[in-house]
């Protein structure tokens, strides 16, 4: 496995099972290495009869810009979004007849259209768009240069999305499936809506929205509701004509209807005291329309509902959500939850309240959908050996069938070392789960350099997903250790939330205990230890080298170094007392104590800083502080800056940049841990010369 093998991967995204469960439409994502772009097309797979051999899926589109397949209720058509090949043009909605014929465009809005949702009778399609009919006319003249922005809100730009265009927020629209003039049902410059879906009777369109005037100052920080509007609303509304379908003290996320109108949803009932993390529960909304009463189905089970695990091999384009839906007769709800580094498909029986895991601890559910008859589930499952293979789960027979792997043509021929799951005790006895990626041909009698990989979040989890970066490093001769220290999800609410007001803190102990655990096995050269991590993992990397000289090299990626700077410049407004009890001027000691920038005088470990120039989650000044602070002291450091990239570089950045990112990581460690020459780093007399790379 090499860094440039990334260009060979393909990903199955957004699998959508047909209403009768006989076919699965999905988006296949591939890399066009010549154009340095991702391409997306619609494919379709037949679900075989029990015991029959699956047949390879076939493509439906060939343009490279199609995604979001959605079945018509009768299974004869697919609505989808297609982006023009011309750069900067937004996607439009198309309908493709599966009995034959070309796809036909049903929207041509200046700001595009996405998230199609069929009405129950198949005559109309709801969708979202930021188009404004009054402003986005052919006659509207655009200025030669972009005018100044007037900012009045603390959240005005978002990582991976750009500056928020409050004049063109996403709103709910409807259009006839046969074509015609689309109609806008909601509008306004204060709020937006997303995830539209029809009620079973076809009279209303339900969507997710946050209608609070100043959500960044309120508690909880996340508090979305389900609202609804009639599909035939005479005039678009900015909220006055909306019905409240579900309103709880916290977010309502994914949702699904039963035929009788009941609603299942992922949501979190936040306590009065704000936590850094609050796991979602499985909720059931019942009662007379519009339903406003929620019943928590997973109360007391301490589950992470709707969550998965972290990987650099989730689809970089194409989207998709974890499956959520009712089983046949509305007797149960299928959902996904994270547990001990795995993403499980699960079933909640509404009669007994029992929750049963349908998939095991060696796979992660990435995305999927439940058939309209509630009998089957389409799934993409990842594992330590494969990124995301297409599966179908039959709820009646409890049978999981693998249909296809997008990388079957080449991945089985690549030598991959063993991935061993471990568990060890931290300094205070807390049990921590981790994984060791071993080089191909691993010999326990040899001594290997060890790399500690730290996940960000911090409220996410590593686990049984496929990591290209880890595999490439293992193939280069490194033992790679990745763990889930406290603060990680998939181990219960207390385990994740215990780092409130002390991040970094005990997570440092958990990580170092993991390193000691692997060293004790006898095959690691303790003089050749490296550490790296991104985002919250970059914060912990900075923290580690500020507290110990045990590591011979380190790489901090998209890091946090100065919490006060984060408070003032990050894309999300840190006004809530989640990480700190107040603002920097209210709790200056807390901000300083947990900011690695104040540890710069203690750092002796050679440090590479990797950051993206359009990262607005952890703005690039966070990395610059570490780089410049070490340069000032004439300590070995170098900074790698990726133009045009944001916080998602390693997961969905340009293919060439993702390859370069991994090459920089390996070469830095190769020099300091393997003793290999690195003239491109300007190494002279054991130090990296300032300004030379």
Q: Is residue 248 part of a domain?
A: yes
Same structural domain, 288 and 423: no
Q: What is the pLDDT of residue 214?
A: 84
Residue 561 lies in a domain: yes
* Pair (290, 427) in one structural domain: no
Q: What is the mean pLDDT of residues 78-92?
A: 93
Q: Which of 34, 94, 102, 37 is nearest to 70 (CA)?
A: 94
Residue 689 reports pLDDT greater than 70 = no
Residue 351 pLDDT more than 50?
Answer: yes
Pairing of strands 263-267, 293-296: unpaired
List, as one string, the DSSP characters of 431-452.
Answer: EEEEEEEPPTT--TTS-EEEEE
Is the model's pLDDT at 681 over the cut of 60?
no
State the residue for tokens 């170098």: 638
d(CA 364, CA 360): 9
pLDDT of the residue at 141? 77
Q: What is the DSSP string of 188-217?
A: -SS--EEEEEE-TTSSEEEEEE---S-GGG
Helices (H), 476-577: 493-497, 506-519, 536-545, 563-569
Map residue 672 onto helix, strand or coil: helix
d(CA 136, CA 142): 10
538: left (phi over 0), alpha (psi -120 to 50) or beta: alpha
Q: Is 122 within a domain? A: yes
Distance CA 661, CA 621 (A): 19
Average pLDDT in the chain: 94
Looking at 305, 338, 357, which one is the last position of a domain? 305
Q: How confident is the model at residue 684 (pLDDT cuts 50, 70, 90)?
A: very low
452 shares its domain with 591: yes
Do both 467 and 602 map to the same domain?
yes
Domain boundary among the residues 244, 271, 305 is at: 305
Nearest to 560 by CA among 632, 653, 626: 626
> Does the residue 92 lie in any domain?
yes
Residue 45 and residue 390: Cα distance in Å, rounded?
Answer: 9
Interval 559-616: pLDDT, tens: 999 999 999 999 988 777 788 988 999 999 999 999 999 999 999 999 999 999 999 9
- What is the spatial distance between Cα 57 and Cα 259, in angstroms, rounded to a whole number? 30
Residue 256 in this model has a pLDDT that exceeds 60: yes
Structure tokens that stand for 143 in this block? 């200025």
172-198 pLDDT per residue, tens: 999 999 999 999 999 998 899 999 999
Looking at the 3D structure of the chain, how many domains does it have?
2
What was the pLDDT predicted at 691? 36
The pLDDT assigned to 685 comes to 39
Where is 333: in which H helix or E strand? strand 332-339
Q: What is the CATH number of the domain that holds 261?
A: 2.120.10.30
Place of tokens 């490093």: 473
Dihedral sign (CA 232, 233, 239, 245): negative
Q: How high is the pLDDT of residue 215?
A: 82
Q: Are 560 and 425 in the same domain?
A: yes
Residues 298 and 420 in one domain: no
Residue 622: what pLDDT? 98
CB 377 within 8 A of CB 398: no
**Cα–chain center distance at 635:** 36
What is the mean pLDDT of the segment spanning 464-474?
Answer: 98
Q: Is residue 616 in some structural domain?
A: yes
User: Could you tell me which residues come within 8 angstroms of residue 143 by beta carbon, excluding any fewer than 6 positions away?
Assistant: none
What is the spatial distance between Cα 475 and Cα 249, in angstroms, rounded to a whole number? 48
- Residue 486 DSSP class: B
Residues 493 and 621 in one domain: yes
CB 204 within 8 A of CB 228: yes
pLDDT score recorded for residue 693: 36
Domain end call among 305, 340, 367: 305
In terms of domains, do 294 and 422 share one? no
* Cα radius of gyration (the chain): 25
C-alpha closest to that of 256 among 204, 333, 354: 333
Quick one: pLDDT at residue 680? Answer: 55
User: What CATH number did the domain enclosing 530 receive?
Assistant: 3.40.50.1820
Model confidence pLDDT, tens digit, residues 502-550 = 999 999 999 999 999 999 999 999 999 999 999 999 999 999 999 999 9
Q: Above 60 in pLDDT, residue 132?
A: yes
Phi then psi for residue 313, to 5 deg, are -120, 25
CB contact at 8 A, 337 and 303: yes
Query: What is the percentage of the chain residues whose pLDDT exceeds 70?
Result: 97
Which residues have CB under 8 Å from 458's CB, separation 6+?
487, 488, 499, 503, 507, 536
For residue 4, the model assigns a pLDDT of 96
pLDDT, one tens digit per residue, over 265-293 is: 999 887 767 788 999 999 999 999 998 88
Strands 183-184 and 524-534, by their bridges, are unpaired
Residue 497, φ and ψ in degrees, nearest 5: -90, -5
Here the tokens at position 628 are: 């410049």
pLDDT for the residue numbered 137:
81
Please give the residue range of the domain that contains residue 649: 415-688
pLDDT per residue over 357-383, tens digit each? 999 999 999 999 999 999 999 999 999
Contact assessment for residue 227 and residue 244, using Cβ atoms and an 8 Å cutoff: yes
Give yes or no for residue 640 having a pLDDT over 60: yes
Query: In the prediction, which pLDDT does 73 show?
Result: 98
How confident is the model at residue 468, as a pLDDT? 97
What does the pLDDT average to over 2-19? 97
Report the distance separating Cα 4 and Cα 2, nearest Å: 6
In a domain, 32, yes or no: no
pLDDT score at 678: 62
Is residue 491 a part of any domain in this protein? yes
| Type and span of the H or E element at 661 | helix 655-674
pLDDT in tens, 138-169: 777 788 898 999 999 999 999 999 999 988 99
389: in domain: no
Share of the chain above pLDDT 90, in %: 87
Neighbours of 640 (CB within 10 A): 19
pLDDT at 686 exceeding the cut of 50: no
What confidence score (pLDDT) does residue 136 get? Answer: 83
């Amino acid at each position: 496995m090499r860094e440039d093998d990334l260009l060979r991967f393909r990903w199955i995204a957004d699998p959508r099972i047909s209403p009768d469960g006989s076919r699965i439409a999905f988006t296949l994502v591939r890399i066009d290495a010549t154009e340095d772009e991702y391409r997306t097309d619609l494919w379709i797979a037949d679900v075989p009869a029990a015991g029959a051999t699956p047949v390879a899926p076939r493509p439906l589109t060939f343009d490279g810009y199609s995604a979001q397949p959605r079945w018509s209720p009768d299974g004869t058509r697919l609505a989808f979004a297609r982006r023009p090949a011309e750069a900067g043009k937004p996607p439009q909605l198309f309908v493709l007849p599966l009995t034959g014929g070309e796809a036909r465009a049903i929207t041509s809005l200046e700001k595009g259209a996405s998230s199609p949702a069929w009405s129950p009778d198949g005559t109309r399609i709801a969708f979202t768009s930021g188009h404004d009919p009054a402003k986005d006319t052919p006659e509207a003249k655009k200025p030669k240069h972009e005018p100044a922005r007037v900012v009045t809100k603390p959240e005005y730009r978002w990582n991976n999305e750009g500056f928020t265009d409050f004049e063109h927020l996403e709103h709910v629209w409807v259009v006839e499936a046969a074509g015609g003039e689309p109609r806008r049902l909601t509008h306004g410059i204060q709020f937006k809506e997303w995830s539209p879906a029809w009620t079973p009777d076809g009279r209303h369109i339900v969507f997710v929205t946050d209608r609070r005037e100043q959500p960044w100052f309120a508690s909880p920080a996340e508090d979305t509701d389900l609202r609804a509007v009639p599909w035939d609303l005479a005039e678009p509304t900015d909220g006055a004509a909306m019905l409240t379908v579900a309103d709880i003290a916290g977010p309502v996320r994914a949702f699904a209807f039963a035929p009788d109108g009941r609603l299942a949803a992922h949501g979190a009932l936040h306590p009065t005291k704000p936590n850094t993390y609050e796991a979602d529960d499985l909720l059931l909304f019942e009662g007379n329309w519009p339903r406003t009463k929620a019943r928590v189905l997973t109360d007391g089970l301490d589950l992470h509902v709707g969550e998965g695990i972290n990987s650099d091999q989730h689809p970089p384009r194409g989207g998709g959500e974890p499956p959520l839906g009712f089983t046949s007769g509305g007797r149960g709800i299928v959902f996904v939850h994270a547990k001990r580094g795995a993403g499980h498909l699960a079933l909640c029986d509404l009669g007994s309240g029992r929750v049963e895991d349908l998939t095991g601890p060696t796979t992660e559910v990435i995305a999927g959908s439940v058939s309209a008859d509630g009998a089957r589930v389409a799934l993409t499952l990842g594992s330590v050996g494969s990124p995301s293979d297409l599966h179908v789960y039959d709820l009646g027979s409890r049978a999981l069938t693998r249909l296809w792997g997008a990388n079957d043509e080449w991945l089985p021929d690549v030598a991959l070392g063993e991935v061993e799951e471990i568990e060890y005790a931290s300094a205070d006895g807390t049990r921590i789960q981790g994984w060791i990626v071993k080089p191909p041909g691993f010999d326990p009698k040899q001594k290997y350099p060890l790399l500690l990989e730290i996940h960000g979040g911090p409220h996410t989890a590593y686990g049984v997903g496929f990591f290209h970066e880890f595999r490439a490093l293992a193939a280069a001769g490194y033992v790679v250790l990745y763990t889930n220290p406290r603060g990680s999800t998939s181990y219960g609410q207390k385990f994740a939330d215990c780092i409130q007001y002390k991040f970094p803190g005990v997570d440092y102990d958990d990580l170092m205990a993991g390193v000691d655990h692997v060293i004790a096995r006898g095959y690691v050269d303790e003089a050749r230890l490296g550490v790296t991590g991104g985002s919250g993992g970059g914060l912990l990397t900075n923290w580690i080298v500020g507290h110990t000289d045990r590591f011979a090299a380190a790489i901090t990626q998209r890091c946090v170094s100065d919490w006060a700077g984060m408070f003032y410049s990050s894309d999300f407004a840190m006004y809530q007392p989640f990480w700190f009890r107040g603002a920097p001027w209210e709790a200056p000691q807390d901000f300083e104590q947990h900011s690695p920038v104040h540890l710069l005088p203690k750092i002796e470990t050679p440090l590479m800083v990797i950051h993206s120039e359009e990262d607005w989650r952890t703005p690039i000044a966070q990395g610059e502080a570490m780089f410049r602070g070490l340069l000032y002291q004439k300590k070995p450091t170098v900074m790698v800056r990726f133009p045009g990239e944001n916080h998602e570089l390693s997961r969905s950045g340009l293919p060439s940049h993702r390859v370069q990112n991994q090459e920089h990581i390996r070469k830095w460690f190769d020099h300091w841990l393997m003793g290999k020459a690195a003239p491109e780093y300007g190494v002279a007399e054991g130090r990296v010369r300032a300004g030379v790379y």
